[in-house]
C-alpha cells in the first residue's frame, strides 16, 4: 500500500538511524525505496547491510552523482505498480514509530485529501532538541500560507500516488526548494492537510544544504512565488509584503538570513 522514498548522498553518520526509524514503524506494509546518489563515503556499504536484512528495502544507486531532483524523480518512477501512497523521507532525519500508521489512517479516512504532512522536532547533530515546528492544518490555511512560505515539512509528507500521476514529479528547473514548487502545483487542484502530531525529528547539521545554499534557496523561492503570487487562491497583501521582504533579504549576509529564518519558523524548546 505504501512506498517510502529516501534519496541519500554522503550521509554515513546518520543514514543507519534514518533507515532503522522506517523499519521500526508500527505500520509495516510498505516498500522502502532508497537511492544512493553515488556517495563517496561509507553510505553505500551501510545501506547494503540493511538491505540484506530486510526484504522491504529496494536499494538502487545512481552511476554518477545526479543531484536531489533527479534522484527523487527516479525514486518516484521506481514505485511498485498498485501502491497507493508515497511517503517522503530524508537520510539524516528520524521518523517517529507511528508516522506511517497515522498518515495512512488519515488518508484512508479522508479521500478528499491528496497529501498530508505534520509537525516535527528539530534536533542538532547530537540529537538534542532545538525546537519544534508546526504547520497549518486545514487546506484553506495552507493555501493562505504558501504564498509567503512553505506550509509543509517535506520529509513528513505522505501523498496519494494519483497526485504524482496528475501533476508529475519534481521540476528540474529548481535544484533547491524543489518541494516548494511541487506543493504550489499540487494545491492548484488538490486538497492537502497537516497533522498536529509530531511525525519526525528533523536534523539541522552543520554541513546541511540549506545552510550552504541559503541564498540560492531564497532566490528560487522568489522565482517560484513570482509566477503564482497573483493567482486568486494564493494572493494576499501579507503575502505580497513578505515577497518584497524576501527580495530585501537577498542583500543580507547568509548568517543573518539563517538567524531570521530560525526565529520565524520554529518554537524554541525550554528546559
Counting residues of the chain whose pLDDT is more than 70, the rounded percentage is 93
Lowest mean pLDDT among 17-21, 201-205, 210-214, 265-269: 265-269
Q: How far apart are CA 261 and CA 267, in angstroms?
A: 12
Spatial CB neighbours of 98, under 8 Å, sequence gap ≥ 6:
25, 26, 27, 197
Supply the pLDDT for residue 270: 41
The angle formed by the CA atoms of residues 169, 172 and 175, to the nearest 5 degrees, is 115
pLDDT tens-digit readout, 10-44: 999 999 999 999 999 999 999 999 999 999 999 99
The grid coordinates of residue 41 equal: 563515503
Spatial CB neighbours of 162, under 8 Å, sequence gap ≥ 6:
114
More confident residue, 265 or 56: 56
Supply the pLDDT for residue 204: 87
pLDDT tens-digit readout, 63-74: 999 999 999 999
Domain boundaries, the chain: 2-268
Under the banding of pLDDT at 50, 70 and 90, the label for residue 259 is: confident
Q: Establish how many alpha carbons lie within 13 A of residue 51's alpha carbon, considering only the half-sphere containing its beta carbon.
A: 16
Q: How far apart are CA 242 and CA 91, in angstroms?
A: 31
| C-beta of residue 164 within 8 angstroms of C-beta of residue 86 | yes
Model confidence at 156: pLDDT above 90: yes
Model confidence at 205: pLDDT above 80: no
Please give the mean pLDDT across all residues of the chain: 93
| C-beta of residue 96 within 8 angstroms of C-beta of residue 199 | yes
Under the banding of pLDDT at 50, 70 and 90, the label for residue 268 is: low
Task: Check residue 121 and report its DSSP letter.
Answer: E
Counting residues of the chain whose pLDDT is more than 90, the rounded percentage is 85
Q: How far apart are CA 193 and CA 41, in angstroms?
A: 37
Q: Identify the architecture of domain 2-268 in CATH.
A: Alpha-Beta Complex (3.90)
Query: Dihedral of the CA atoms 182, 162, 160, 69 (nearest 10)?
Result: -30
Lowest mean pLDDT among 61-65, 146-150, 228-232, 257-261: 257-261
Say if pTM beats, i.e. exceeds, 0.85. yes
Under the banding of pLDDT at 50, 70 and 90, the label for residue 215 is: confident
Spatial CB neighbours of 9, under 8 Å, sequence gap ≥ 6:
36, 37, 38, 39, 43, 65, 68, 71, 91
Supply the pLDDT for residue 209: 52
Supply the pLDDT for residue 255: 75
Lowest mean pLDDT among 20-24, 247-251, 257-261: 257-261
> What is the average per-residue pLDDT within 113-142?
96
Nearest to 155 by CA among 74, 103, 204, 91: 91
| C-beta of residue 200 within 8 angstroms of C-beta of residue 99 | yes
Amino acid at each position: 500500500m505504501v512506498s517510502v522514498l529516501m534519496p541519500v548522498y554522503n550521509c554515513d553518520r546518520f543514514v543507519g538511524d534514518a533507515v532503522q526509524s522506517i523499519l521500526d514503524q508500527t505500520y509495516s506494509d510498505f516498500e522502502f525505496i532508497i537511492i544512493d546518489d553515488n556517495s563517496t563515503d561509507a553510505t553505500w556499504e551501510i545501506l547494503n547491510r540493511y538491505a540484506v536484512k530486510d526484504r522491504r528495502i529496494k536499494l538502487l544507486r545512481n552511476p554518477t552523482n545526479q543531484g536531489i531532483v533527479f534522484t527523487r524523480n527516479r525514486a518516484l518512477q521506481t514505485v511498485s505498480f498498485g501502491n497507493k501512497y508515497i511517503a517522503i523521507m530524508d537520510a539524516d532525519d528520524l521518523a517517529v514509530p507511528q508516522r506511517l500508521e497515522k498518515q495512512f489512517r488519515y488518508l484512508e479516512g479522508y479521500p478528499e485529501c491528496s497529501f498530508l504532512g505534520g509537525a516535527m522536532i528539530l534536533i542538532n547533530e547530537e540529537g538534542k532538541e532545538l525546537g519544534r515546528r508546526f504547520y497549518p492544518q486545514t487546506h484553506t490555511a495552507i493555501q493562505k500560507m504558501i504564498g509567503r512560505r512553505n506550509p509543509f515539512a517535506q520529509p513528513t509528507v505522505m501523498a496519494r500516488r494519483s497526485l504524482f500521476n496528475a501533476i508529475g514529479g519534481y521540476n528540474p528547473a529548481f535544484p533547491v526548494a524543489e518541494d516548494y514548487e511541487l506543493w504550489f502545483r499540487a494545491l492548484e487542484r488538490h486538497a492537502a492537510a497537516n497533522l498536529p502530531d509530531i511525525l519526525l525529528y528533523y536534523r539541522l547539521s552543520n554541513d546541511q544544504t540549506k545552510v550552504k545554499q541559503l541564498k540560492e534557496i531564497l532566490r528560487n523561492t522568489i522565482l517560484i512565488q513570482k509566477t503564482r503570487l497573483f493567482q486568486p487562491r494564493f494572493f494576499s497583501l501579507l503575502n505580497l509584503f513578505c515577497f518584497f521582504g524576501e527580495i530585501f533579504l537577498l542583500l543580507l549576509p547568509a548568517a543573518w538570513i539563517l538567524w531570521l529564518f530560525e526565529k520565524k519558523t520554529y518554537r524554541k524548546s525550554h528546559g
